[in-house]
A and B are shown apart, each in its own frame.
Chain A
Amino acid sequence: MTKILSIKDLHVDVGNTSIVNGLNLDISSGETHAIMGPNGSGKSTLAKTIAGHPDYKIRSGTIMYRDHDLNDLSIEERSNLGVFLGFQYPIEIPGLSNTAFLKAAINAKRKYHNLGDLSASDFLVDLKEKSRMMDIEQKFLSRGVNEGFSGGEKKRNEILQMLMLEPVLSILDETDSGLDIDSMKVVASGVNAFRNENTASLIITHYERLLNYITPDYVHVFHNGAIIKTGDIQLARDLEEKGYEWLTNP
């Protein structure tokens, strides 16, 4: 078991507002962590900070990813080294086909690791298999990236991208929000397929339901930009029943 992510006393600002306040979190390979917490508590801010979004400034503290201080790495370097973010609100890129986009992303990563382009046939075989697993029809792949996709289709497409890019650390920001029951199972199976002893997941969610399919090792409660309690799946069940009040306002 090796350390994949190690966050120490992290403070993050957006403009002049402090959003993350003294966060500590360690994630090792093979682990799945869930983060739950009220709206506006800073969960997406944490996710985007790890990914390197320029709007979020680290005021103090460190984020170590394997041997790297993430602050030293560009957005695309983080990605190429295995950090994946499934977006709460996936972005549309009209006209650019999902296939072309995925191929560009995969080849960018390969180039970063001094590998040649993936052959078209290997790529297509892999894409076919994984899109079938995510229940995404072929015709969606030639449509523009997320262009006109329904909410649930966008989320399944995020998981498809994750599976294609084979990251080490996958951060999924509310990938389960807005999914019907079948889609929820499909997404869960994607996440489970991704799990192995070398990878790790950080799953941001509002609902216990997804966690029942995935069974996280840890459940953290996020409030005002810091973790105020850590437990296991039972904590998620308690939250589902009681809400956050008993923790945030004891």
Chain B
Amino acid sequence: MSEADNKNKEINEFLNKSYEYGFTTEIESETIPPGLDEAVVTLISKKKKEPEFLLNWRLKAFNHWKKMPKPDWAKLSIDPIDYQAISYFSKPKQDGGPRSLDEVDPKLLETYEKLGIPLHERAKLAGVAVDAVFDSVSVVTTFKDKLAEAGVIFCSFSEAAIDYPELIEKYLGTVVPIKDNYFAALNSAVFSDGTFVYIPKDVRCPMELSTYFRINEAKTGQFERTLIIAEEGSYVSYLEGCTAPMRDENQLHAAVVELIAHKDAEIKYSTVQNWYPGDEDGKGGIYNFVTKRGDCKGENSKISWTQIETGSSITWKYPSCILRGDNSTGEFHSIALTNNLQQADTGTKMIRLGKDTKSKIISKGISAKSSQNTYRGQVTMAKGAKNARNFTQCDSLLIGSDAGAHTFPSIDVMNSSSILEHEATTSKIADEQLFYCMQRGISEEDAIGLIVSGFCKEVLNELPMEFAVEARALLQVNLEGAIG
């Protein structure tokens, strides 16, 4: 074997490190049979004791979805999905909902422990409030009391539908309408649970909010719905993390996230997505089709998306901002790492309607082995979007010679006073960089990690401290103590 082959082999072994979250949990669960029709939609709504308006909304979405053409897959290669073979609701069996952590099934807690989220202690230490969604149901929300003092509402979507129906009715579907796209329509019809956050006027949310999603049951889909409303002058930072067990068949995850920032409000939304990516031959893995959009409704409002996408066999998501308020700001910071046969098609849309709006897009794609990594961005400057500014930086890093990186920036300017900047680079990890690190005593594995984290620096810096650490680890980096 030549030296180059040997090196490739080492790199491959490193990249092949197995998925650590691929365990399943044996819990009795209540899963409705696969299939989708009006009765199933109604059943979901009834099981959740939802108000009437919500059921009607779901049915409207369902009837629209039925008529929609299946999406065109752009750069992705994908087998057809049989929507009748999926179960649209699964919940861990337990009488009534848990009222406190002590009532939560210990097996569930163990699962979270394995995922590295001990709800009991670590959350407290970290000062993070966690909402954990297991398959379709929100299991427990920690720190409710402390948040309630500040007037912050942080609960499962199901609870919110019952406790705060007027807020749900007012905002649900205003940012991502039912008809937005195929998966948004499907989600609107069958969403099972998710997270609801409401930050009252002038309140700075006293802690990081965070939700962990996990798909456990076989043959289920996860369709969560997140709605975050930041009233005038408020601030919130929210993080979601996702994992799923290893399974041979593909599982569907089609979420919708809607953010609303009123005047002078700021929402920081971070995602660490580590769904099961499938095995080396591309068998199994999550189809991650997500619609995320924020509405900078008020003047001076700001929404920033940060995402670390390392999992899923197919990722298809474009967290976007509608910059409606004058002087509002939208940001998108993304790291997408693909390996083996993973495919990621991700990017953002910045739609500028207001005057003097600003947006910044930083995208870092890392592709290894035979994976395909696509950035797709759209910046639209409407007629009224005078003096809008956009900066896009889009960098790709290739590891090995079979991987692909593609970028499709698209720009629509309908006025003459907008300023757009776009920078793009593609690079490879050079053997000489590895040699340099190794000459300094650093193992090849750690060297790759260091080089990748250097490449991703601007985005990692956007994450809250404790999650930046997790994200680095997820990027298979051993940077222990090396944060400069």
Contacts and interface: CB of A to CB of B under 8 A. Distances in A.
Interface of A: 51-55, 74-76, 78-80, 84-85, 87, 90-91, 93-101, 103-105, 107-109, 112, 117, 120, 141-142, 144-145, 161, 165
Interface string B440-484: 111110100011011111100000000000000000000111111
Nearest to B7: A54
Contacts of A51: 435, 439
Contacts of B481: 103, 107, 117, 120
Contacts of B451: 93, 96
Contact of A165 (B431, B440, B455, B484): B440
B194 to A, nearest CB: 35
Contacts of A96: 450-451, 453-454, 457
A24 to B, nearest CB: 24
A82 to B, nearest CB: 10
Contacts of B484: 97-100, 103, 141-142
Contacts of B458: 95
A101 B439 contact: no
A75 B435 CA distance: 8
A95 B454 contact: yes
B54 interface: no
B455 to A, nearest CB: 6
Nearest to B460: A95
The 3 nearest A-B residue pairs measured at CB: A96-B454, A95-B454, A99-B484
Contacts of A98: 484
A94 B455 contact: yes
A39 to B, nearest CB: 20
A95 B457 contact: yes
Contact of A55 (B3, B436, B437): B3
Contact of A101 (B432, B450, B457): B450
Contacts of A100: 450, 479, 482-484
17 contacts: A52-B439, A76-B438, A79-B440, A80-B441, A85-B439, A93-B437, A93-B450, A93-B451, A95-B454, A95-B456, A100-B482, A101-B482, A105-B440, A108-B442, A108-B446, A165-B440, A165-B441
Contact of A79 (B438, B454, B479): B438
A109 B441 CA distance: 6
Contact of B479 (A104, A109, A120): A104
Interface string B390-431: 000000000000000000000000000000000000000011
B84 interface: no
Nearest to A95: B454
Nearest to A85: B439
Interface in B137-157: none
B423 to A, nearest CB: 13
Contacts of A161: 440
B433 interface: yes
B440 A101 contact: yes
A191 to B, nearest CB: 18
B438 A75 contact: yes
Given A91-B432, A95-B456, A142-B484, A79 B441 contact: yes
Nearest to B364: A95
A96 to B, nearest CB: 3
A104 B437 CA distance: 9
Nearest to A117: B481
Nearest to B440: A105
B436 A104 contact: no
A101 B436 CA distance: 11
A107 B242 CA distance: 32
B456 A108 contact: no
Contacts of A54: 3, 6-7, 431, 435
Which residue, A96, A142, A161, has most C-beta atoms of chain B within 10 A?
Answer: A96
